[in-house]
Structure 1
Amino acid sequence: MVATLDDTKRSAIAIQLADLKALQQLIIENEEQLIKQVSDQEIAKRLRDFLEDDRKNLGVLETVIGQYGIQAEPKKTITEMIEKVRQLQQGSKLSLYEKVFQHELLKHQQVMTGLTVHKAAQKVGADVLLAIGPLNTINFENRAHQEQLKGVLEVLGVRELTGQDADQGIWARVQDAMAAVGGVLGSAVTQNTDKKDLNIQDAIRLDHGKVNTLFTELLASQDPQKIQEYFGQIYKDLSAHAEAEEQVVYPRVRPFYGQNDTQELYDEQAQMKKMLEQIKGINPSNMEQFKGQIKQLMDVVGDHMRQEESSMFAAIRNNLSTEQSEQLATEFKAAKTEIQKKLGVVGAK
């Protein structure tokens, strides 16, 4: 049995997420350029606020991609479009109004792509929906930025056409529109969203939640092909998670968590990897045997998770500062991304 996820729908979502990341990076570049070109302090402040949000959103998006578990490259058409927009934004052919207009269009593209990915995830699987959940934060903020950019465009457009300032009531209308967006989306999307950086406990707990969801989906399925796909994702997620922990987390916690307890975590993961390889050799059509082995794997993984989330997490809280824990999460996510690439990258389209 090949331990890869052969599911065109999931691969397509991975490519869309890669497109979103590439566009998010372009949006950040644009805002850095626009801030330098704007003399109006009110507009400059809004752009600086956008930039702060968008830098955070890039981190959220990278977390989503890591949680999703499939590293992809953006489509060729997207990379070509990005290069053309970059040249226009950095050049002198467009006026400031035209550059902001193009930026608003990029925000619209991000919103629609993000919303489409979220809707598609609802049709693919609970694990996918769980992994891309934080994307809603980005969708909401891009939608909010759009409304403010409309006001910016009115101000710049009137100045460009008449040489005079527009009616400042524009900003009031923008705030009314923002309130409407917040009423529709904000309560559903942002109530439980904390924009702080993930600490290492958060990052590990997210991985645990996703793999538990995959186990549930696999055991509920009666379709051998779907079971194979679910196992393929479990195999990749657990393999990447375990290797990243062994590279980054366990060496860091060993001095205060203890040699014996840390070694127990290594040993449990060695057992888990052995079981994954054994299950890989079983035909999922032999459903009773296959699911029986999965349940045994779940027991081993569950015990391992409980130890990490209780005693190891407590040791981290007692020995690492908030900044150290967040930095460890950054290193863990970076290691996991590289491992995921080695396990199988979805090619550029």
Structure 2
Amino acid sequence: MVATLDDTKRSAIATKLADMKALQQLLIQNEQLFLKETNDSEISKRFQDMLNDDQKNMGILETVIVQYGVHGEPKDTIKQMVEKLGQLMQGSELSLYEKVFQHELLKHQQVMSGLTIHKASQKVGADVMAAIGPLNTINFENRAHQEQLKGVLEILGVRELTGQEADQGIWARVQDAMAAFSGVVGSVVTQNTDKQDMNIQDLIRMDHAKVNTLFTELLASNDPQKIQEYFGQIYKDLSAHSEAEEEVVYPRVRPFYGENDTQELYDEQADMKQKLDEIKAIDPSSSQFKDKIKQLMDVVGDHIRQEESTMFAAIRNNLSTQESEQLSTEFKAAKSKIAEKMAK
């Protein structure tokens, strides 16, 4: 039985990511409802922009969860809260102002969850930081949404209380607040993930970066238990990655990448799987263990170089942006299904 890094800390992060996904779906549902309930063109535009961001961010969040590689379920309390708030948003008990107020609180919760995961990952491991990196985009945009929602609430609140329009200048103050926030944290936030689905090259490259980080952490450790745990995560990540590639990616690229080059990728992964199984049978405290790991690193390194040079070039030259993003969606789905099967 291969030990993995699904320890208490990592499992807690997996649960928090699952909580965020449940809340993200509620945010999307809320914004769809708000668009139906307001006739104000300015407010509608802001809700539409938020909805577009949140739908994209759901894709990013799903990518982070798959890359993280540890399965988690949302807490029962989160499930109950989402269900109750969903019913309130659908009903007529709350005014639009009150619904948007609850929505802003959800945004705050989502921001704090994302920031907490980021800070916790710094304590747990560099491979976790590599996996959750794209979460920074969601954190930044949710914080910006909070500022936008403050302006919406001011307008709706004044209308509800007085039946009149609020004074002008609200949006200017909101923009100033957002600009100040951007100046403070924009330089350290990943903002280049601006679409719902990365292309297949980006997704595969993220897997490569994570496993290389795990190799580095393993070789730097002298604790047999931690070494075994790092190897367990490597075993799980490489197994899910290779099976998903063989199921989705390689059959798609074979017609333009070539029979021989594609077969070489299959052969390299067969060699990799054999070495993984060999290492699994070795005591992590044995002097042989790290020697075998270095042999595995050589095989994986050669495989990565081929994929990131010639295969990626073939994909760029033969698939459209939309086709590459669709392939990444299929790869992500296959990897998620494989990981869930392995977890069981």
TM category, shorter: over 0.9
Aligned residue runs from structure 1 range 59-98, under 5 A: 59-98=59-98
RMSD: 1.1
Q: Which residue of 2 aligns with 1:333?
A: 332
> What's the CA shift for 1:30?
0.5
Contact 1:17 1:65 in 2 (8 A): yes
- Structure 2 Cα separation of the partners of residues 150 and 5 of structure 1: 41
Aligned residue runs from structure 1 range 134-145, under 5 A: 134-145=134-145
Instruction: Tell me which amino acid in the other structure corresponds to 2:278.
Output: Q
Q: Spell out structure 1 runs of 4+ moving beyond 4 A.
A: none
Gaps of 5+ in 1: none
- Structure 2 Cα separation of the partners of residues 328 and 2 of structure 1: 30
The structure-2 alpha-carbon separation of the partners of 1:190 and 1:304, relative to structure 1 and needing over 3 Å to count, comes to closer
Q: Which residue of 2 aligns with 1:307?
A: 306
Aligned residue runs from structure 1 range 245-260, under 5 A: 245-260=245-260
Measured against aligned partners, the alpha-carbon deviations of 1:247-285 in whole angstroms (never above 9, x if no partner) come to 000000111111111111111111111111111111212
> What's the CA shift for 1:187?
2.4
Q: Which residue of 1 aligns with 2:156?
A: 156
- Structure 2 Cα separation of the partners of residues 228 and 156 of structure 1: 57
> What's the CA shift for 1:71?
2.2
Q: Which residue of 2 aligns with 1:129?
A: 129
Contact 2:3 2:232 in 1 (8 A): yes
> What's the CA shift for 1:5?
2.8
- Structure 1 Cα separation of the partners of residues 28 and 260 of structure 2: 46
- Structure 2 Cα separation of the partners of residues 3 and 334 of structure 1: 25
Contact 1:61 1:135 in 2 (8 A): yes
Measured against aligned partners, the alpha-carbon deviations of 1:214-261 in whole angstroms (never above 9, x if no partner) come to 000000011112111111110111000000000000000111111111
Q: Using CA pairs under 8 Å that are at least 6 residues apart, name the structure with larger relative contact order, 1 or 2.
A: 1
Instruction: Tell me which amino acid in the other structure corresponds to 1:261.
Output: D
Q: Which residue of 2 aligns with 1:342?
A: 341
Matched residue SS, 1:164: coil
Measured against aligned partners, the alpha-carbon deviations of 1:93-136 in whole angstroms (never above 9, x if no partner) come to 10100000000000000000000000000001111011111111
- Structure 1 Cα separation of the partners of residues 331 and 3 of structure 2: 23
Over the matched positions of the two proteins, sequence identity in percent amounts to 77
Contact 1:68 1:132 in 2 (8 A): yes
Matched residue SS, 2:182: helix
Q: Which residue of 2 aligns with 1:263?
A: 263
Instruction: Tell me which amino acid in the other structure corresponds to 1:97.
Output: Y
Q: Which residue of 1 aligns with 2:57?
A: 57
> What's the CA shift for 1:190?
4.1
- Structure 2 Cα separation of the partners of residues 3 and 240 of structure 1: 16
Measured against aligned partners, the alpha-carbon deviations of 1:148-207 in whole angstroms (never above 9, x if no partner) come to 10111111111101111111221121111111111112222146x241331111111110
Q: Which residue of 2 aligns with 1:27?
A: 27
- Structure 2 Cα separation of the partners of residues 329 and 42 of structure 1: 35
Contact 2:37 2:96 in 1 (8 A): yes
> What's the CA shift for 1:292?
0.9
Contact 1:224 1:285 in 2 (8 A): yes
1:285 aligns with 2:285: yes
Measured against aligned partners, the alpha-carbon deviations of 1:4-40 in whole angstroms (never above 9, x if no partner) come to 3342111111111111111111100000001100111
Q: Which residue of 1 aligns with 2:169?
A: 169
- Structure 1 Cα separation of the partners of residues 341 and 5 of structure 2: 14
- Structure 2 Cα separation of the partners of residues 114 and 338 of structure 1: 24
Contact 1:235 1:276 in 2 (8 A): yes
Q: Provide TM-score, normalisation by structure 1.
A: 0.96
> What's the CA shift for 1:140?
0.6
- Structure 2 Cα separation of the partners of residues 134 and 194 of structure 1: 7
Q: Provide TM-score, normalisation by structure 2.
A: 0.97
Instruction: Tell me which amino acid in the other structure corresponds to 1:327.
Output: Q
Q: How many residue pairs align between the two structures? A: 343
Instruction: Tell me which amino acid in the other structure corresponds to 2:68.
Output: Y
Q: Please, which moves more after superposition, 315-324 or 40-49?
A: 315-324
Instruction: Tell me which amino acid in the other structure corresponds to 1:29.
Output: Q
Matched residue SS, 2:285: coil
Q: Which residue of 2 aligns with 1:275?
A: 275
Q: Which residue of 1 aligns with 2:293?
A: 294
